[in-house]
Structure 1
Amino acid sequence: MELAIIALILTGVITFCILIGVPLALSIIAGSFAAIFAHGGANPVIAPQRLFAGMDSFSLMAIPAFLFAGAIMSNGGISARLIDFGNALVGRFTGGLAISNVLSSLMFGGISGSAVADTAAIGGTFIPEMKKAGYPAGYSVGITAASSPISPLIPPSIAWIVYAYITDQSVMRMFLAGLIPGLLWGLALIVAAWAIARRNRYPTQPPASFSTIWGKFVIAFPALVTPALLLGGILSALFTVTEASVVLVVYAMLVSGLIYRELSWKVVIASLTSAMRLTAAVMIILAGASLFAWMLAWVHAPESFGAWLQGFVSTPVAFLILVNILLLFIGMVMEVNAAKVMLLPVLFPISQQLGIDPIHFGVVVTVNLCIGLITPPIGIVLAIASQIGNISIVQGTRAVMPFLIVALVVLMILTFVPVLSTFLPDLLMGPRQS
């Protein structure tokens, strides 16, 4: 059967399922089943086998543990201590609460790894606090929305595990690859937030004394060392990424229970329930990704699409520019991991044919999709932040635009300077074998 007909059937079934309210992961599975049966010649038993294979990986065992640890840290008082420390440290500066907002996203990112979770947790704290301190609602919403998508870049992040699984890369390399881009994006937002606050003479907080800052630091220290504990343990070969996720669970429970005294059975059950729901959602997405990727390979879609695409773009730079444009639109309407499931089986093989570094490509794809979360008019994170701030999506769009421009500049830098993505993995883990 012609590839165009297969593509039409696949797109039609997925679109129809989405329109009637079927979750995206199940829509992808339904479309893959329809395309397989329409093409004919495949044993139907292969489909459930591929679905199971998509979840049958040792590295994926890290996902539920990381999610559980993140929920424990969020519900057990660890994230609150990080926010308090950030406020005490930079609150005295012009736009101090906005700067603290970004710093909290950077610190909280290593805990939650989710832009939506970051927006809900930090936005629920910072947006009302900034409005109370005299900051405009739009500015408060704009900086919160703009900083939240940094979370999926900071390890440990489910976004990197999903990319590594789909493209057969090292999870640890992807963790390290996200650090410099995440910090660069955060620094750029801090400069932009400070400049806007200074130009508009936004208020500052009374300076905290050294003893107050030191006290907040001491209290937050167990949370601040979490990334170093994880990355140091993995790099020193004390434990694997999967084992590190379990270590993080134990560490989070010890800190929340013994140091902060906020761990209870209610917190554990709520955190476990949240982690189970998110794990189920991620696993269904990965199961669909396995079937979807197998189906595309079976009908030779990547090769055909690659041959067609090379008629328009024949250089890595041109391909990356095209990918940037495509993913910014896709990111507006689709969650980061779901978008990777849909697009990587097609885009990744082409990137390898063009000689693009897989680690660099992963960073470009992930940053693109994260920016899409705040891209008007449909950006999910932008909508959530606007709702928390009680402003319209139009007002939220106007407020986020300066920070969106900053994010796009960072994206261009990361696109054309691959070493920013590959330097840290190669430095700490050694150059990859070609």
Structure 2
Amino acid sequence: MGISILFISLFFFLIIGVPVAVSLGLASLIFILLEGMPDLIVLHNMINGVNSFPLIAVPCFILAGHLMNEAGITDRIFAFARACVGWLHGGLGHVNIGASVIFAGMSGAAVADAGGLGSIEIKAMRDSGYDDSFSVGVTAASSTIGPIIPPSLPLIVYGVIADASIGQLFAAGIVPGLLMALSLMLMVSWYSRKNGYPRDGSFLISRLYQTFIHAFAPLMTPVIIVGGILFGIFTPTEAAIAAVAYSMFLGLVIYKTLTWRSLLKVSVDTVETTASILMIIAASAVFAWILTANQVAQGFADFLLALSDNKIVLLLIITLLILFIGCFMETLAAITILVPVLLPVVTQLGISPVHFGIILILNLMLGLLTPPVGMVLYVLAKVANVPFERCVVATAPFLIPLVTVLMLLTFLPGLSMWLPSVIYQP
């Protein structure tokens, strides 16, 4: 009965618009008071939930992303991507995807990609004659690459909750992120030929060289972050600190585009974003403790395993469940609620927590492109100044390649687990 009240109260608070962190905390507090437990349990678990060294990486990567945006580095990235792939049919669509892949190695968040690169990409595509539906659709879809390719804020949070290696999660995200980019580029090629979209000029070695030199310093950011982690030079947390230091070096010393006023602005933005993330994690720690103490996860695992003993069928059920919840819940909140419940199930199925982490995050990224939550769609509706409903329709075709990649990753674990197995050999 108590667990029923816990979930009913949680969804009630979410439906009436109470913030996710507050909803989780209130639902947990109601359960604890009804069960006659000491209310200090809430504070104790909240503190333990955020008392984690890897979580230091969260504000650092957020700050690094803000610094890159404020320093005007996104323009250099876009110009380099344009020189690389702009000569293909539907050139700026491919540029859009390529820039997202590069920016993914700096920001680690889909909303940051959509907000930072989105305004540049959509304006350039409009100026070149692309219709808004295509521009918004490809921008929204490509922004989901950010949380898959390292560094990734959702993967850090997942790693902390699931007690999985963040380094292995980062390594596991590289191939899936590139597969997402490839599938979207194939979609753009087909769409462009069908609608007669032009090439964005010819391929010129001189132009590629010039834009590469212009963007060389920013392009070194993902090399420093990802390379440093994969080759054991520093941990993911230390990599986040290195990213901040390097971003400030670029903005203050190399390009001199950062001012004290802009530093204050990005610091305030970082504090606000970090506070909301840590509040969700703290509140979810109490929620997860209740689920664990009452063996809800084990009960759910037994229920699913009773439905079928076929691994493929169970994976499909879990995938559909995550997709459904992702449509209605913000990514970090969904991670904190789903991981304690689903991880025991996939573990019994013999699925690696690292592999499941990639499946889970990609599932939830699709939720960012679907109503009613669809945070990326809301951001792009504002950036592009088009109705939210039109963003939904424009993005729908680009879900096809992303769902295809999701299915491949789900049933071919080697695609995500190959690189971690090579780098982190026992």
Note closer, same or farther for the CA distance 1:279–1:387 as it changes in structure 2 (3 Å cut): closer
TM-score (norm 1): 0.94
Quote the residue 2:13 is aligned against: 17
Select which of 96, 102, 117 maps to 2:97: 102
Shift of 1:378: 4.7
Query: Hey, what's the Cα distance between the residues in 1 that align with 2:2 and 2:407?
Result: 35
Quote the residue 1:214 is aligned against: 209
Runs of 4 or more consecutive aligned structure 1 residues displaced over 4 Å after TM superposition = none
Quote the residue 1:189 is aligned against: 184
State the identity %: 39
Query: Hey, what's the Cα distance between the residues in 2 that align with 1:394 and 1:49?
Result: 43
Q: Which moved more, 1:201-210 or 1:264-273?
A: 201-210
Residues 31-77 of structure 1: CA distance to partner in whole angstroms, max 9, x if unpaired? 1111122223x333222110000010111111111111111111112
Shift of 1:297: 1.0
Quote the residue 1:339 is aligned against: 334
Q: Aligned to 1:152, what secondary structure does the other structure show? A: coil
Quote the residue 1:370 is aligned against: 365
1:81-160 correspondence to structure 2 within 5 Å: 81-160=76-155
CA contact (8 A) 2:71 2:251 kept: yes
CA contact (8 A) 1:135 1:203 kept: no
CA contact (8 A) 1:33 1:47 kept: yes
Shift of 1:187: 0.7
Residues 214-239 of structure 1: CA distance to partner in whole angstroms, max 9, x if unpaired? 11101111121222212332334332
Q: Which moved more, 1:192-201 or 1:230-239?
A: 230-239
Quote the residue 1:7 is aligned against: 3
Could you tell me which amino acid in structure 2 is paired with residue 429 of structure 1? Y
CA contact (8 A) 2:165 2:354 kept: no
Establish whether residue 382 from structure 1 lines up as the match of residue 377 from structure 2. yes
Q: Aligned to 2:307, what secondary structure does the other structure show? A: coil
Q: Which moved more, 1:18-27 or 1:318-327?
A: 18-27
CA contact (8 A) 2:65 2:112 kept: no
Could you tell me which amino acid in structure 2 is paired with residue 427 of structure 1? V
Q: Aligned to 1:120, what secondary structure does the other structure show? A: helix
CA contact (8 A) 1:177 1:359 kept: yes
Query: Hey, what's the Cα distance between the residues in 2 that align with 1:290 and 1:268?
Result: 32
CA contact (8 A) 2:100 2:145 kept: yes
Query: Hey, what's the Cα distance between the residues in 1 that align with 2:394 and 2:227?
Result: 39
Shift of 1:6: 1.9
Select which of 11, 28, 33 maps to 1:32: 28
1:279-290 correspondence to structure 2 within 5 Å: 279-290=274-285
Quote the residue 1:49 is aligned against: 44
Over the aligned positions, Cα root-mean-square deviation in angstroms equals 1.6
Q: Structure 2, unaligned stretches of length 5 or more?
A: none
Shift of 1:159: 0.7
Quote the residue 1:76 is aligned against: 71
Select which of 172, 175, 184 maps to 1:177: 172
Shift of 1:371: 1.1
Query: Hey, what's the Cα distance between the residues in 2 that align with 1:6 and 1:159?
Result: 30
Q: Aligned to 1:311, what secondary structure does the other structure show? A: helix
Q: Structure 1, unaligned stretches of length 5 or more?
A: none
